[in-house]
Amino acid sequence: MTTLSVEAPATIANFGPGFDIFGVALDQPTDRITVRLRDDDAIRVYVQDNGWRVPSDVDANTAGVAAREFLKRIGADVGVDVYVEKGITPGVGLGSSGASAAGVVYALAKLLVDWLDYGLMIEAAGVGEAASAGVAHLDNVAASLLGGFVFIRSQRPVQVMRMDVPPIPLVICTPSLDLGKRKTQLTRSLLPKNLELKLVVEQMAYTASVIAAIENGSLEEIGRAINRDNISEPTRSKIIPGYSEIKRRVLEAGAYGCNICGGGPSVFAVCEEDLAEEIGLLMVEAFRRLGVESTLTITQASNAGVREA
Ligand code: HSE
């Protein structure tokens, strides 16, 4: 086999209080990545990106960097053409760069080796993600590769725990905000440098609650657990117009929880399936009243990670 296509899912990193350690794979949207082995040792990236201006320069593209890193780590002296068909909007907190990186290493592993070392794949994909995000964090790549709910126990060495998720309806609203090309650097610069002990103690309780809620499978408990965060939400919410008010209304409308997707600016809510559309439209309308257009994605958590297309 010399060519393989895979689908790599979008993800919600942090999933409430799990800053840099939690990630959840989504049923939709996905990136499609096709890898074709070449006769020479060149690496080329071709991007179809719906006008999102994703770079096709190998050193600037998350999939290109991840491919080079993975080939180096397995000692493969081959070249590849990487075709990236973007389905996941970049720069909105849905793990777009992480998914492309995860997809390419999975496809390369399937084509070139007869084992799947997820630790190695996550590390290589993390190097790709860092090329685009400017900072290494493994929550998005691990969730996209493995599917389900993951938490990063250690970044070095890579230790990732994974749990299956129950059905979790997710309403995601993405406001059109121009946060510039270096969005991740911007949103990370907003984070607090220190946290008061009282807030650390609460944060530990919140993170433990997410894991317990996923384990027991109660949608209501999952929603309540993702609803709180002392690290990312208090500062990053300031760049999302109307965030506090929108969250308040979403909860009043019956959602169990609401928080920011990864570094933002997308906002997600957990609710019963039959409320999803109403809550989504409420979010869109609330942003519109503030003069901000937005797009709505109604999806659910998924146990499938990267898979052959
Ligand atoms: N954990 C990362 C952050 C995810 O919050 O910056 C970025 O998508």
For position 11, what pLDDT does the model report? 98
Confidence check: pLDDT of 183 > 90: no
Q: CA–CA separation, 277 vs 152, rounded Å?
A: 32
Cis peptide before 265 (omega within 30 of 0): yes
Q: pLDDT confidence of 54, banded at 50, 70, 90?
A: very high
Write out residues with Cβ below 6 Å of ligand 1. Answer: 13-14, 19-20, 93, 95, 137, 139-140, 187-188, 232, 262-263
The pLDDT tens digits for 143-160 are 999 999 999 999 999 999
**134 pLDDT more than 80:** no
- Whether 65 and 98 have beta carbons less than 8 Å apart is answered as no
Q: What are 105-116's pLDDT values in tens digits?
A: 999 999 999 888
| 11, 29 contact by CB (below 8 A) | no
Residue to mutate (ligand 1; options 22, 140, 141; most atoms within 8 A of CB): 140
Q: What integer is the mean pLDDT of 177-195?
A: 88
Cis ω before 29 (30° cut-off from 0): yes
- Report the distance separating Cα 43 and Cα 82, nearest Å: 8
Question: How much is the CA Rg of the chain, to the nearest whole Å?
Answer: 19
pLDDT tens-digit profile of 217-251?
999 999 999 999 999 999 999 999 999 999 999 99
In a mutational test of the pocket of ligand 1, which residue from 129, 188, 189 has the highest number of ligand atoms less than 8 Å from its CB?
Answer: 188
Q: Which residues pair with 295 in a beta bridge?
A: 174
What pTM value is reported for the model? 0.96
Average pLDDT, the chain: 96
Closest of 108, 143, 104 to residue 125, by C-alpha: 104
pLDDT score for 181: 75
Q: Could you give the percent of the chain with pLDDT greater than 90?
A: 91
Residues 74-85 have a mean pLDDT of: 97
For 84, residues 6+ apart whose C-beta sits below 8 A from its C-beta are 31, 32, 33, 45, 46, 47, 48, 49, 54, 61, 63, 100, 104
Strand ranges across the sheet with 169-175: 257-260, 267-270, 169-175, 294-300
